[in-house]
Amino acid sequence: MRHFDYARADGTRAAIQAHGSDDEAAGYQTGGAAYLAGGTTLLDLVKLDVMQPDKIVDINGVALDEIERLDDGRLRIGAMVTNTALARDERVTADYAVLSQALLAGASTQLRNKATTGGNVMQRVRCPYFRDGVSDCNKREPGSGCAAIGGVNRSVHAVLGTSESCIATHPSDMCVAMAAIGATVEVEGPDGKREIDFAEFHLLPGDTPEQEHALKPGELITHVVLDAPMQNARSSYLKLRDRQSYQFALASSAVIVTLDGNTIRKARVALGGVGTKPWRAPEVEAALEGKQASEALFADVAKRAFDNATAYAHNAYKIPLGQQAIVRNLVDLTQSVDPTAA
Amino acid sequence: MSNDNRSDGTDGAKRGGIIGAGVPRIDGPDKLSGRANYAADNLPPNLSYAYGVFSTVASGTVSRLSVEEARQMPGVVDVFHHGHFPTLYRSPSSFAQGNKVEETRLPFEDERVYYEGQFVALVVADTFDNARAAARRVKVDYSAESAIANLEQGVQAHGTKKGSGNHARGDAAANFDGAAHTIDVTYRTPVETHNPMEMHASTAWWDDDHLTIFDASQGVVVARNALSKIFAMPPERITVHAPYIGSGFGSKLWTWPHAIATAAVSRELGRPVQLVVPRPQMFTTTGHRPETRQRLRLATDASGKLVSLRHESINTTSFTDQYVETCGSVTKSLYSCPNLTVSHETTRVNRGTPTSMRAPGAAPGLFALESAVDEMADAAGVDPLQFRLDNYAERDESQDLEFSSNHIVEATNRAAEKFGWANRNPEVGSMKDGREIVGYGMAACNWEAMKMACDARVSIRADGTAFASCATQDIGTGTYTIVAQTVSDVTGIPIDRVTVKLGDSSYPDGPVSGGSWATATTLPAIAKAARAALDEMKRYATGDNGAFADSEADALEVADGGLRSADGTQTSFADILKAARYGSADGEAHTDAADSEYSYRSFGAHFVEVRWDPGISRLRVARVFSAIDVGRVINETTARNQVEGAVVMGIGMGLFEATEYDERNARPVNNNYAEYLVPVHADQPEIDVILLDYPDTKFNEYGARGIGEIGITGLAAAVANAVHHATGKRIRELPITLDKLMEDVPQARSA
Ligand SMILES: Cc1cc2nc3c(=O)[nH]c(=O)nc-3n(C[C@H](O)[C@H](O)[C@H](O)COP(=O)(O)OP(=O)(O)OC[C@H]3O[C@@H](n4cnc5c(N)ncnc54)[C@H](O)[C@@H]3O)c2cc1C
Ligand code: SF4
């Protein structure tokens, strides 16, 4: 491993100070500082020599591990709350089943015990050409090209939101649920605190795939605040993959619906495994609201999510698979009698 | 269980039931407590650490290598490469001479690069981290050439070369044309990578011209012999240790470049060196199961009897060595067919040299053959189970020999019955359960039984314990335990008082742990050595001042941890030795390789239920029922564990496993545990294994044929056949991933 400075911060201000803001891209590749949360992404990539921070600021001593209900009904999650703790929290299992399920569908028990809310939001792509440290990769080395286009792109490459510069999926399950729920990312940096709408937090690759998120240099995520739960909603996360555990999504859906009899009142749909960011599908939501729930309707609306999809050599199957993730999830949610059973 | 013709293997000793019992692994506590020392657990004083610099191109030459920056890095001891490496010698790589290596080219032998992930330099430093950090500062320029990335590219670029293991009888071509039913189909299997949990590792040091190396090795004797050739020094001056191996699946059978390099630089530096092969390079420089393309042409008469069978296979090999994946090895003798051809060819690609992976040849070969047999049965309009029963060979037609023992019909029928094959509705897609379509499939499994020459030593000691040693290995399969069972069986000494030492090349020569031959090879030698120790004990007992000075040795029998005379007098081994003032009674023995009077093979059948949910494109294996005929089962627990593990590995082969190469540059892409998929717990089906347990005493006195590999053979075909039954799709290219089963997959709009 490369040599780097290590600082352990005991509060957010101290962390931000220790981090500084002189790095161009918030601890991306060469140089700069990086916050260390669970380390399951960061240490992995440092060992692979793909991330090369000069300084690591350990934020495990920063007290950001509380989950609190705000007066307006929203749920405020500290950045250091682990994926396991969040998935098991009673407020989450009761009001945001989709989030609990998404978390539990991710990684493995050991990883979830270490992984944090902030770190999960910030996790890097699983594209093998990014991780090998050698291939052309615009994300790792801007301007070098994208080896995944024309290479092996079956599993962790997207069909939505891709560009000529980068086609890697955002790998998170948790973020897909958050995209459906609606959330705000609270950050604090050298210039103070601010809030970022979750939908704006992750950036499309465009021609700057090295810029993955809306944080400014040195900014620290302190909390993710979930929108207040929808009344009488049913929600669920469905993750499709080759093996039944310990694999990133080939396609997944996070769905929240409220029903009036058999009529869909409100719908929130987000997709994972198919997009270059956690993929909210408003066109699907709009096509569902006010309609009678039926499998035929679901099949029809699911197609709309992929109207602008681009399939690459090995991942065209994600277009029908993503639709299946939407349809099955909707069928199960609208057919189940007990709204909490989902 | 049908134990009706169980024989009483060893003469003299009573079978206290310990052979066949589910004795727990005697090495279990050491492994669970972390006391078991694996190759990289050895930390001799003054140890230094080596880390490789690996080629990032798959074909070409190293044009420039700058080590200056790396040498300046903290803790660096030295940086080795082609221009700075001792002269070594190649091993003749002879299986018969026992000095086989798979990659014959020596590390740093020249500037050529034959595959991505090949060692081009080696940094040695005071810590692992420093070595790795410095290795990344070695700058390598290549003059890269275009790489041959896969089998098709290889065949197109330079065709194929004839391989070994070919066979022909009758006239397959003539009897194909005009037959009542025929099929002509081609199957493909990808590169699979062994990926044992324990990465390849070597820790080496030299004292007074003696090389000691702890290596993750499935064959310490062959490793010693190969190193003796490579370092041009007598084998007596080399000791290879592998007391524990975190499995190997074949990848650790032969010595790979990293072990040679570790020993060489340790000698150069005059201090111990340790090297652990990083996981990504486990995909490049320590072997893999090669890619295959197999054409199967089968024909039957009107009643469904095979009249012609051709199995023609091509596999990829490296530019440095020819490795033949003998896909047709089982095809020669599993079915009765007068007109049969099996051929193997290879084509060179820019990948490292392939090697044996659990059931080499048979695993990919039976995927093709047993899929084709289902396709043939379908074409002939016969139930696939019935088709097999109608066509199974009764004798080995390839060698014109009787089988020593063959219960494949019983295995097939018993597994079928327990599985419920009779409930199978043959119509494709007809068996539904909620959203899932259920598919039933079956396949035969088969593996050659082999037995090598072996030496062993057993001592019965004055403290009432026994000690056995043999230079074979326990690769996690249970060899320690079955050797202890054997000593206990022959001597009557309880198993908890038997110490077994394996995995040290200075012990009596034992076999490589591969080919499923370790059990059949080692146990007879151990038993013979134990009997020799008992004979010695009897001589001591009947000698002057002996405990049975008045008796004849022949009149004494072994009983309850001692000897008993005809009049019922009983004396313990300990007392006999004490009386004679000896510390131990020792026996050494040599047993020979198997003869060729019979065809020795193991048999069995797998029955698989898959469930396909077309609404979410989810395929899963729900049940696997297998019946296995491997001769006598020595240890019920470890034997069952081998079959269950092989079944799980077979599910991986069927559904998940494939090393993916970028076809533009021959680089493996999914070279880690997250992206190279093997089954996880959530993928485990219900597994039910019937062990037939018919001792094959024509093969060896214990009647055991070995059980490590047979379980994976045929499994992928049984899955493919079940998938066909459920979906109507015949997938001829592994793995069977969901995208291959989906309908309406659109065209890619881009690369
Ligand atoms: C083998 C494997 C399998 C996995 N499978 C899945 C899966 O199936 N589904 C899934 O969703 N995920 C999966 N993951 C990813 C896992 O969820 C993430 O690695 C984890 O959530 C990251 O959290 P962490 O706390 O460990 O982050 P760290 O590794 O500590 O940090 C990650 C990044 O975020 C930055 N960072 C951390 N905290 C903050 C903060 N508060 N503010 C600003 N920046 C911050 C760090 O500097 C770093 O750049 C897998 C990971 C592995 C290794
Ligand atoms: S897809 Fe993105 S991450 Fe992958 S190689 Fe292309 S630019 Fe890099």
- A-facing residues of B in 191-220 (CB < 8 A) are none
Overall average pLDDT of the B576-598 stretch: 97
What percent of chain B lies above the pLDDT cut of 90? 96
Position B10 pLDDT exceeds 80: no
Q: Which of residues B574, B591, B608 is at a domain's end?
A: B591
Structure tokens at B667: 């680089």
Mutation to probe ligand 1, out of A24, A42, A59, A84 (largest number of atoms < 8 A from CB): A42
- Indicate the fold that domain A233-334 takes in CATH: Enolase-like; domain 1 (3.30.390)
Structure tokens at B716: 């992928």
Q: What is the pLDDT of residue B5?
A: 38
Overall average pLDDT of the B72-77 stretch: 97
Question: Are A314 and B748 an interchain contact pair (Cβ–Cβ within 8 Å)?
Answer: yes
Q: Where are the domains of chain A?
A: 233-334
Position A294 pLDDT exceeds 90: yes
- A316 and B CB contact within 8 Å: yes
Residues B639 and B714 in one domain: yes
Residues B662 and B682 in one domain: yes
In-domain check, residue B509: yes
Of residues B198, B312, B436, B709, which has the active-site annotation? B709
> How far from chain centre, in Å, is Cα B648?
15
Say whether B709 is catalytic. Answer: yes
Average pLDDT, chain A: 94
- pLDDT bucket at B751, cuts 50 / 70 / 90: confident
d(CA B713, CA B370): 10
Q: Which one, of B189, B739, B100, lies nearest residue A251 by Cα?
A: B739
Q: What is the DSSP string of B415-449?
A: HHHHHTGGG---STT-EEETTEEEEEEEEEEEEE-
Atom of ligand 1 nearest to the CA of A215: 43
Q: Which of residues B591, B609, B632 is at a domain's end?
A: B591
* CB nearest to B746's CB, from A152, A247, A311: A311
In-domain check, residue B687: yes
In-domain check, residue B477: yes
- pLDDT bucket at B749, cuts 50 / 70 / 90: confident
Which ligand does the CA of A249 lie closest to?
A: 1
Residues of chain B found within 8 Å of residue A316, distances taken between Cβ atoms: 745-748
Atom of ligand 2 nearest to the CA of A151: 5
Q: What are the φ/ψ torsions at residue A75 (nearest 5 degrees)?
A: -115, 125
Task: Return the residue in B54, B116, B616 with the most chain A beta carbons within 10 A, the one to mutate for interface testing.
Answer: B616
Residues of chain B found within 8 Å of residue A310, distances taken between Cβ atoms: 749-750
Question: Are B680 and A243 an interchain contact pair (Cβ–Cβ within 8 Å)?
Answer: yes
Average pLDDT, chain B: 96
> How far from chain centre, in Å, is Cα B53?
29
Cα-based distances in Å from B450 to A20, B279, B478, B483, B595: 67, 32, 18, 18, 10
What angle in degrees, to the nearest 10, is found between the helix axes of B518-542 and B479-491?
30
Q: Which one, of A327, A266, A337, A324, lies nearest residue A294 by Cα?
A: A327
Residues B477 and B496 in one domain: yes
Per-residue pLDDT of B154-212, as tens digits, reads 999 999 999 999 999 999 999 999 999 999 999 999 999 999 999 999 999 999 999 99
Is the Cα torsion angle A176, A177, A179, A185 positive or negative in sign?
negative
Overall average pLDDT of the B38-57 stretch: 98
d(CA A342, CA B7): 59
In-domain check, residue B718: yes
Per-residue pLDDT of B253-277, as tens digits, reads 999 999 999 999 999 999 999 999 9
Residues B608 and B571 in one domain: no
- A326 and B CB contact within 8 Å: no
Distance from CA of B610 to the nearest CA of A (A): 14
Structure tokens at A86: 């969040």
Residues B542 and B612 in one domain: no
For the domain that residue B484 is a member of, what is the CATH number?
3.30.365.10
What percent of chain B lies above the pLDDT cut of 70? 98
Overall average pLDDT of the B30-43 stretch: 96
Structure tokens at B1: 């269980």
Question: Any bridge partners for residue A234, and if so which?
Answer: A257
Going from the Cα of A140 to the center of ligand 1, the distance in angstroms, rounded, reads: 17
CB B69 within 8 A of CB B133: no
d(CA B507, CA B483): 14
Atom of ligand 1 nearest to the CA of A175: 11
Question: Are A242 and B677 an interchain contact pair (Cβ–Cβ within 8 Å)?
Answer: yes
For residue A125 and ligand 2, the question of a CB distance below 6 A is answered with: yes
In-domain check, residue B273: no
The size of the A-B interface in CB pairs under 8 A is 112
The rounded radius of gyration (Å) of the Cα atoms in chain A is 20
Strands (E), B68-218: 76-81, 112-113, 119-125, 139-144, 161-162, 167-169, 181-189, 201-207, 210-215
CB B353 within 8 A of CB B103: yes
In-domain check, residue B229: no
In-domain check, residue B192: no
Q: What is the pLDDT of residue B747?
A: 87
How many separate domains does chain B show? 2
* CB nearest to B748's CB, from A311, A324, A325: A311
Overall average pLDDT of the B605-612 stretch: 98
* CB nearest to B745's CB, from A2, A147, A317: A317
d(CA B247, CA B220): 14
Q: Which amino acid is at A327?
A: V
Q: Which one, of A192, A310, A174, lies nearest residue A248 by Cα?
A: A174
Residues of chain A found within 8 Å of residue B675, distances taken between Cβ atoms: 126, 128, 155-156
Residues of chain A found within 8 Å of residue B656, distances taken between Cβ atoms: 242-243
Question: Any bridge partners for residue A194, and if so which?
Answer: A187
Q: Which of residues B560, B575, B591 is at a domain's end?
A: B591
For residue A122 and ligand 2, the question of a CB distance below 6 A is answered with: no
Residues B665 and B725 in one domain: yes
Residues of chain B found within 8 Å of residue A324, distances taken between Cβ atoms: 615-617
Overall average pLDDT of the B592-607 stretch: 97
- B620 and A CB contact within 8 Å: yes
Residues B457 and B579 in one domain: yes
Distance from CA of B701 to the nearest CA of A (A): 44
Residue A107 CB coordination number (10 Å): 25
Structure tokens at A21: 């803001």
Quick check: helix, strand or coil at residue B456? strand
* CB nearest to A313's CB, from B675, B744, B748: B748
Q: What is the pLDDT of residue B750?
A: 77
For residue A156 and ligand 2, the question of a CB distance below 6 A is answered with: no
What is the torsion angle, in degrees rounded to the nearest 10, for the CA atoms of residue B92, residue B96, residue B97 and residue B101? 40
In-domain check, residue B162: no
Residues B619 and B728 in one domain: yes
* CB nearest to B683's CB, from A152, A243, A319: A243
Residue B281 CB coordination number (10 Å): 23
Overall average pLDDT of the A204-213 stretch: 97
Residues of chain B found within 8 Å of residue A328, distances taken between Cβ atoms: 615-616
Residue with tokens 């997250």: B674
Residues B573 and B643 in one domain: no
Question: Are A320 and B745 an interchain contact pair (Cβ–Cβ within 8 Å)?
Answer: yes
Per-residue pLDDT of B372-408, as tens digits, reads 999 999 999 999 999 999 999 999 999 999 999 999 9
Residue of A nearest to B136 (CA): A49
Q: What is the pLDDT of residue A202?
A: 98
Per-residue pLDDT of A178-203, as tens digits, reads 999 999 999 999 999 999 999 999 99
Which ligand does the CA of A162 lie closest to?
A: 2
Residues B741 and B666 in one domain: yes
d(CA B302, CA B310): 19
Residues B720 and B732 in one domain: yes
Position A341 pLDDT exceeds 50: no
Helix (H) or strand (E) holding B9: none
Is the Cα torsion angle B30, B34, B39, B45 positive or negative in sign?
negative
Overall average pLDDT of the B570-591 stretch: 96
- A237 and B CB contact within 8 Å: no
Pick the residue whose CA is nearest to atom 21 on ligand 1: A120
Going from the Cα of A171 to the center of ligand 1, the distance in angstroms, rounded, reads: 10
For B406, the domain range is 361-449+597-750
Which ligand does the CA of A209 lie closest to?
A: 2
Going from the Cα of A182 to the center of ligand 2, the distance in angstroms, rounded, reads: 28
- pLDDT bucket at B573, cuts 50 / 70 / 90: very high
Pick the residue whose CA is nearest to atom 6 on ligand 2: A146
Residues B660 and B529 in one domain: no
Q: What ipTM was reported for this prediction?
A: 0.96
Residues of chain A found within 8 Å of residue B132, distances taken between Cβ atoms: 1
